[in-house]
Chain A
Amino acid sequence: MASVTLSEAEKVYIVHGVQEDLRVDGRGREDYRCVEVETDVVSNTSGSARVKLGHTDILVGVKAEMGTPKLEKPNEGYLEFFVDCSASATPEFEGRGGDDLGTEIANTLYRIFNNKSSVDLKTLCISPREHCWVLYVDVLLLECGGNLFDAISIAVKAALFNTRIPRVRVLEDEEGSKDIELSDDPYDCIRLSVENVPCIVTLCKIGYRHVVDATLQEEACSLASLLVSVTSKGVVTCMRKVGKGSLDPESIFEMMETGKRVGKVLHASLQSVVHKEESLGPKRQKVGFLG
């Protein structure tokens, strides 16, 4: 992760501030920074989203391709995640430097989506045991300003909401060989239901309290964090402790409760933003990186 050097005095200042529920930029312990979400920024993908959370900048592209279903789940399609920590975030990620962090984030994404309810994979099936849609979700980390997991999960959810998969029909002729036909109308597509797609809320323990959405400086003061993956209804799908410090069980329960509370609010805001953007229709002014 991109690191920042802090003096002891600055660390003490941050810890004391968190104690008083006043962080360096004036936020409370449970406040997020200003989040900008925009979907449909990359033209040749099935769905894309860009999220800017403070100084953290994430670009996610989803490409739908046809493949064969997995042997143990013949009636379902599947998702493949790939995270690229680009060297533009920090020079340490040059060459293979960003691979470790990328693999860690990709594995976390696999874990949070590894349950029956997050995404309805049966809608991705075209013909059982033969053809299905595979969604390649590619995450591009452009700038690292702290709180990567939250921003990435928000971007993945927005990109999956934006994904449009073309409708196909399987035609069977007399010899029994199957042919796949794409519908003529380019706007005829299936959309995924992202009602139950979870978002990650990272809670960093600083001193005796915990904060949501830590900046790089705050992450440098924290020894342990808890990643909680929450759906819009407050259901926890995955939980993970990261960091070199240790947490006591009471803190973990408190942090989980905070995570659920904050997660529900986060989901509600994200839903309203993406629906509002969608309601503007195809004539919407796309800003992208130029704004």
Chain B
Amino acid sequence: MAGLELLSDQGYRVDGRRAGELRKIQARMGVFAQADGSAYIEQGNTKALAVVYGPHEIRGSRARALPDRALVNCQYSSATFSTGERKRRPHGDRKSCEMGLQLRQTFEAAILTQLHPRSQIDIYVLQADGGTYAACVNAATLAVLDAGIPMRDFVCACSAGFVDGTALADLSHVEEAAGGPQLALALLPASGQIALLEMDARLHEDHLERVLEAAAQAARDVHTLLDRVVRQHVREASILLGD
């Protein structure tokens, strides 16, 4: 975009952040009482809601049941009023299906599915504002924890980009629309294992390590925040229970 500098000479981005700085994150668990687990997260202007049902019996054909582990089923839908231009179909289009498959891949790596054979775990994510994969994964992690489903570790996700020789962490919509390389990373922080890694556009392999490190560091920062949210939630719940 001519005339719009993604990174100024002093090292400030369009919204005033530094290269490695995250947007403001606010999160809450247990938003809906009727679902098994639910969570809401706001990362800057991106708002994501995740709802988890399960583990429960397989819905639909019994033939899909796996004898030794649980089936993880994810659906991603974005509200029609979320993007600048009104979106016609909330889900069912290619991008939403692909996002659902990516979420499924991410969470199959993290959830201990061997503990619930022949059952199904549904994760439904809703974006109430234009945004990315990272907010969905973070919201879904909190929702799965709220549902009490055992996981190997938190799954923390963050996006990263590369502009003018500097790696930027946590891209906003403006930075994504500019068309540079974008990396989406989902990390299990304790072990440092990567659950999902996806990159768009061209990036020279010499720069890949720097961008990856920026995304990983940002994901670890997200982990600190999510950990605090979970502890706060557990503290409130135990106060209410009178422990």
Q: Which residues of A contact B (CB under 8 A)?
A: 42-45, 48, 55, 57, 59, 61-63, 65, 82, 84, 86-88, 91, 94-96, 136, 138, 140, 142-145, 288-290
Contact = CB atoms under 8 A, between A and B. Distances in A.
Nearest to B143: A88
A143 B32 contact: yes
Interface in B26-77: 26, 28, 31-35, 38, 40, 42, 45, 47, 49, 51, 53, 56, 59, 73, 75, 77
Contacts of A62: 81
Given A44-B130, A87-B122, A94-B124, A143 B77 contact: no
Contacts of B126: 86, 88, 140, 142
20 contacts: A44-B130, A55-B32, A55-B33, A55-B34, A57-B32, A63-B81, A84-B79, A86-B77, A86-B90, A87-B75, A88-B32, A88-B38, A91-B59, A91-B122, A94-B124, A138-B80, A140-B126, A140-B128, A142-B32, A288-B47
A21 to B, nearest CB: 27
B74 to A, nearest CB: 10
B16 interface: no
Contacts of A42: 79, 81-82, 128-129
Contact of A59 (B38, B45, B122, B128): B128
B93 to A, nearest CB: 13
B165 interface: no
Interface string B105-142: 00000000000000000101010111000000000000
Contacts of A48: 81
B92 interface: yes
Given A44-B84, A95-B92, A143-B34, A289 B28 contact: yes
A140 B77 CA distance: 11
B86 interface: yes
B137 to A, nearest CB: 16
A61 B80 contact: yes
Question: Chain A interface mostly helix, strand, loop or mixed?
Answer: mixed
A45 B53 contact: no
A289 B40 contact: yes
Chain A CB within 10 Å — which of B40, B42, B84, B90 has the most? B90
A62 B59 CA distance: 35
Nearest to B87: A138
Contacts of A45: 81
B122 A94 contact: yes
Contact of B34 (A43, A44, A82, A145): A145
Contacts of A88: 32, 35, 38, 49, 51, 124, 126
B49 A142 contact: yes
A45 B47 CA distance: 14
B128 to A, nearest CB: 6
A289 B122 contact: no
B82 to A, nearest CB: 8
B50 to A, nearest CB: 8
A143 B42 contact: no
A140 B47 CA distance: 14
B59 to A, nearest CB: 6
A136 B33 contact: no
A87 B54 CA distance: 13
A273 B98 CA distance: 42
Contacts of B26: 290
A88 B128 CA distance: 13
Contact of A290 (B28, B38, B45): B28
Contacts of B92: 95-96
Given A82-B80, A87-B51, 15 more contacts: A42-B129, A55-B33, A55-B34, A59-B79, A59-B128, A62-B81, A86-B126, A87-B77, A88-B32, A95-B75, A95-B91, A138-B79, A143-B34, A145-B34, A290-B42
B92 to A, nearest CB: 7
Contacts of A65: 86
A57 B92 CA distance: 23
Nearest to A136: B86
B235 to A, nearest CB: 17
Contact of B40 (A44, A87, A91, A290): A290
A86 B81 CA distance: 14
- Shortest beta-carbon contacts, A-B, top 3: A61-B81, A88-B51, A289-B40
A96 B77 CA distance: 12
Nearest to A290: B28
Contacts of B35: 88, 143
